[in-house]
Structure 1
Amino acid sequence: MIITTASVFVDDQQKALDFYTDKLGFRLKTDVPAGPFRWLTVVSPQAPDGVQLLLEPSEHPAVHPFKEALVADGIPFNSFGVEDVQAEYERLTALGVRFVQGPTPMGPVIAAVLDDTCGNLIMIAEMTDPEQAAPQD
Structure 2
Amino acid sequence: MLTNINITGIYVLDQDEALDFYVGKLGLEVGSDVDMGFMRWLTVHLPGDPDHQLLLEVPDGSPAHSAETAAQLRDLVTKGATGAVVIFNTDDCEKLYEELSAKGVEFTQEPVRQPYGIDCAFRDPFGNHIRATQRVAGPVDVTDEDIARWSGK
Q: Give the TM-score category using the shorter length.
A: 0.7 to 0.9
User: Does structure 1 residue 91 correspond to structure 2 residue 99?
Assistant: yes
Amino acid at match of 1:63: L
Aligned counterpart for 1:8 among listed residues 7, 10, 26? 10
Higher relative contact order (CA 8 A, sep 6+): 1
User: Does structure 1 residue 63 correspond to structure 2 residue 65?
Assistant: no
Structure 2 counterpart SS, 1:35: coil
Q: Separation in 2 of the partners of 1:3 and 1:10?
A: 20
**Structure-2 residue corresponding to 1:22:** 24
Q: Could you say what the CA RMSD is over the residues aligned between the two structures, in angstroms? A: 2.2
Deviation (angstroms), 1:109: 2.6
Amino acid at match of 1:70: A
**Structure-1 residue corresponding to 2:113:** 105
Question: What is the identity percentage for the equivalent residue pairs of Structure 1 and Structure 2?
Answer: 33
Structure 1 counterpart SS, 2:104: coil
Q: Deviations over 1:13-35 (max 9, x none)?
A: 11001110000000011001133
Q: Which has the larger radius of gyration?
A: 2
TM-score, normalised relative to structure 1: 0.82
Structure 2 counterpart SS, 1:132: coil
Deviation (angstroms), 1:89: 0.4
Following TM superposition, the consecutive aligned residue runs of length 4 or more in structure 1 with deviations greater than 4 angstroms are: none
Point out the structure with the larger strand share: 1
Q: Which runs of 5+ in 1 are unaligned?
A: none
Q: Deviations over 1:49-76 (max 9, x none)?
A: 32011001133345245442638xxx76
Amino acid at match of 1:32: V
User: Does structure 1 residue 123 correspond to structure 2 residue 134?
Assistant: no
Q: Which moved more, 1:112-121 or 1:19-28?
A: 112-121
